[in-house]
Chain A
């Protein structure tokens, strides 16, 4: 149910604000000329269409009244915000008299008199986008470097679109900023405003990216990847008793709770829980800072704020948590300053630190872990199918079965455990089984990448020496048998129910009909490839048995199907 405001109340709110603005500015604002914009919308003032808007809410009016008390933020790069939506913008005619950006920076404020000249410079001339430099002519090494970058971008596009490297049966189309990403099993494309700027298909890459676009795209793609260094809060006292989040976050949680059930809702619930914890840490730290010896450091860092609003600061010191919260909101930098000072103080005194509210931050690592488990599982299964053993080494890694559904992934050389994990059935019927980390060692990014590469190479996972010797012997048996059978049929291309045998002059090729393709290839005496699995040995063993039975009972040479 949307809260509705009656016209009288609305007018009062608008009038009150206009009066406040008038008083603050010492000028007579022509009310007709005034336009107040909050975010996207004009909430007060005359529209181009002639309509006079009076949408402004009491909350918004309150915020504006508070915001105009703040001076222009020192060192603010006004140009950087030119094309962005403001938090609040007040215009008198064509002149911007007040502007607060979304990140809290005040970029214009005539109500703080000495900043008058700066605000005049901000009169709203239409901002033309700087013309995009055309892709420069590249030569030699620069071309090579550009090609490498394009390749790396394509890899990142694939990775951010399909992080677990699953089979892409349908195109995956997504968007980051101005760029649209499209990934299919054999191609990847990046579009900007409907024009293809990067395309890769079957190994060939075409890049139409300008340097600014390359950097912008790189910036976006890296956001699937980077490591946050969350604030570390000094632990000096038992964990803060605060369970009630700040109102803004509590309200968000309420709004999210009202959503229909589903994973969208769950996602935002986890996200808001993150924010609640992060806010908790801020308040906890501020309170500890206020109550501890580090107060001196804190005072130094947030000196300006305390000078400007000593009353608030005193109250904060006296009353602690809640008021500190209000004090924080009046100056965005105060939080950063306070936390940084506390963190460095904690590090200096060797105090313990705790981190929380990092569910979102943990995404990239969770993805890397899952891929590693997936790959380790895949390698183990490939090895197991081949020799039915419990431990395999491939590409510098070792994967061992430890019982139950538990596997251990380790460095083959040092035997250092990288990860211990297990596979469990998913709670959702029809879904892939769940992979859960039980124990995790120190895995570097290089090791993750190396493991991925091993998984993608698809080379056979060999077992122990003894197992391989046995494997070779059984394979030889099958080769002989197959050759004999095909020759008995008088065929150089025998197609049975499960296998296909191709005989060349000096070559032998055995393939499976179940989608695995070529299993065995011999040229002369040289075995070129051998992917036989234990189940193949089982099947051929049955065939051998049948043949032996036939021989024993002297039955005529009937066609023996290679079942």
Chain B
């Protein structure tokens, strides 16, 4: 269920350890801020998880879809496009949300820890 319910109290974004510009961006997009407030409370994905569907979104639009190891959708855009925020979703769940290099949500910590142990993170 991905519809956001707006609570009457705005989320406490000042205490998210973000830069001023990131906070300002979230103020401009209150629905996203509210959603992220919920996402930040969620537990990470289990270590052994392997998603079927990967999506990359810029400004809430899907630009890349990969299903079961195959690209199935690619949106064209200018090479110099700098999205103010990027989101990566696994099987329609938020996996990470980043604002210009600042990670706001990351649910992949257990997966990454396992990949590190398996030596899979080395280039």
Do the two shown chains form a genuine complex with each other?
Answer: yes
Cross-chain contact B83 with A255 (CB below 8 angstroms): yes
Among candidates B1, B69, B100, B111, residue contacting A83 with C-beta atoms closer than 8 Å: B1
Asked if residues A223 and B112 are in contact (CB atoms below 8 Å), the reply is: no
Contact A255-B86, Cβ < 8 Å, known A178-B1, A275-B54 = yes
Those of A247-284 within 8 Å (CB) of chain B: 247-252, 255-256, 258-260, 263-264, 266-268, 270-271, 274-275, 278-279, 281-282
Instruction: Enumerate chain B residues within 8 angstroms of A270, measured Cβ to Cβ.
Output: 115, 120-121
Contacting pair B69 A358 (CB below 8 A): yes
Residues in B neighbouring A361, C-beta threshold 8 A = 50, 68-69
Q: Which residues on A sit within 8 Å (CB–CB) of B60? A: 38-41
For the A-B complex, the count of residue pairs with Cβ-Cβ distances under 8 Å equals 257
Which A residues are in CB contact (< 8 Å) with B86?
A: 251-252, 255
Does A60 make an interface contact (CB < 8 A)? yes
Complexed CA–CA distance, A104 and B93 (Å):
17
Measured CA separation A259–B103 after assembly (Å): 7
Known contacts A55-B29, A59-B81, A247-B76; is A370 also within 8 Å of B66 by CB?
A: no
Interchain CB contact under 8 A, A255 and B69: no
| B44 x A360 contact (CB < 8 A) | no
In the complex, A270→B103 CA distance in Å? 17
Chain A residues near B113: list those with CB within 8 A. Answer: 263
A297 contacts the other chain (CB 8 A): no
Q: A161-B46, A251-B83, A255-B98 are in contact. Are A279 and B74 (CB under 8 A)?
A: yes
Binary flags per residue of A216-227, CB closer than 8 Å to B gives 1, else 0: 000000011110
Closest to B24 in A: A2
User: Does A174 contact B110, Cβ atoms closer than 8 Å?
Assistant: yes
In the bound complex, residues from chain B placing their C-beta under 8 Å from that of A223 are: 49-52, 91
A260 touching B68 in the complex, CB below 8 Å, given contacts A59-B77, A223-B50, A247-B79: no
Among the 9-residue stretches A325-333, A452-460, A474-482, the one with 4 or more Cβ atoms under 8 Å from chain B is A325-333
Q: Contacts A263-B116, A335-B73 given: A87-B48 contact, CB under 8 Å?
A: no
From residue 85 to 142 of chain A, which have CB atoms closer than 8 A to chain B? 85, 87-88, 102-104
The answer to whether A102 touches B55 (Cβ under 8 A) is yes
Do most interface residues of chain A lie in helix, strand or loop, or is the interface mixed?
A: mixed
Which residues of B have CB within 8 Å of A175? Answer: 42-46, 107
Q: Count of B residues near A, CB < 8 Å?
A: 80
Given A161-B47, A251-B83, A282-B71, the answer on whether A366 and B66 have CB atoms closer than 8 Å is no
CB atoms of A85 and B2 under 8 A apart: yes
Contacts of A436 in B (CB 8 A): 119
Task: List residues 211-235 of chain A with CB under 8 A from any CB of chain B.
Answer: 223-226, 228-231
Q: A223-B50, A266-B121 in contact; A60/B61 too (CB < 8 A)?
A: yes
Chain A interface category by residue count: 35 or more
Residue of B1, B46, B71 touching A278 (CB-CB under 8 A): B71
Does A164 count as interface, using CB distance less than 8 angstroms?
A: yes
Using A40-B35, A163-B48 as known contacts, say yes or no to A63 and B75 having CB atoms under 8 A apart.
yes
B63 contacts across to A, CB distance below 8 A = 248, 251-252
Chain A residues with CB below 8 A from B82, complex form:
3, 251
B109 at the interface (CB under 8 A from A): yes
A267 touches B71 (CB 8 A): no
- Cβ A267 vs Cβ B121 within 8 A: yes
Complex formed: what's the CA distance from A37 to B84 in Å?
17
Q: What residues of chain B lie closer than 8 Å to A45, measured between beta carbons?
A: none
Q: A84-B92, A247-B77, A367-B118 are in contact. Are A252 and B56 (CB under 8 A)?
A: yes
Q: Is B72 an interface position by the 8 A CB rule?
A: yes
Pair A87/B50 contact, Cβ less than 8 Å: no
Pair A339/B56 contact, Cβ less than 8 Å: no
Q: Which residue in A83, A103, A231, A256 is a CB contact (below 8 Å) of B65?
A: A103
Interfacial chain B residues near A180, Cβ < 8 Å: 43
A57 to B96, CA, bound (A): 22
Contacts of A383 in B (CB 8 A): none
Q: Given the complex of chains A and B, what is the CA–CA distance between A363 and B50 in angstroms?
A: 7
Closest beta carbon of chain B to A167's beta carbon, Å: 14
A434 touches B43 (CB 8 A): no
B64 touches A248 (CB 8 A): yes
Residues of chain B lying within 8 A (CB to CB) of residue A360: 50-51, 54, 69
**A266 neighbours in B (Cβ, 8 Å):** 112, 116, 121
B60 to chain A, nearest CB (A): 2
The answer to whether A251 touches B81 (Cβ under 8 A) is yes
In the bound complex, do residue B59 and residue A336 qualify as a contact, i.e. CB atoms below 8 Å apart? no
Contacts known (A278-B71, A335-B72); A162 close to B47, Cβ less than 8 A: yes
A248 touching B76 by the CB < 8 A rule?
yes
Chain A residues closer than 8 Å to B99, beta-carbon distance: 2
Q: Judge if A246 is at the interface, Cβ distance under 8 Å.
A: yes
- Residue from A174, A180, A226, A436 whose CB has the most chain B CB atoms within 10 Å: A174
Quote the shortest CB–CB distance from B24 to chain A (angstroms): 7
For this complex, 28 residue pairs linking A to B, each with C-beta atoms less than 8 Å apart, are A2-B100, A3-B84, A84-B92, A85-B2, A88-B61, A102-B92, A103-B62, A104-B65, A174-B110, A223-B50, A224-B50, A230-B68, A230-B70, A246-B76, A247-B79, A251-B63, A252-B88, A263-B113, A264-B112, A266-B112, A267-B121, A278-B70, A279-B74, A325-B76, A361-B68, A363-B120, A364-B48, A370-B117
Instruction: Give the B-binding residues of A (Cβ under 8 A).
Output: 1-3, 38-42, 55, 57, 59-60, 63, 83-85, 87-88, 102-104, 159-164, 172-178, 180-181, 223-226, 228-231, 246-252, 255-256, 258-260, 263-264, 266-268, 270-271, 274-275, 278-279, 281-282, 325-326, 328-329, 332, 335-336, 339, 357-361, 363-364, 366-367, 370, 431-432, 434, 436
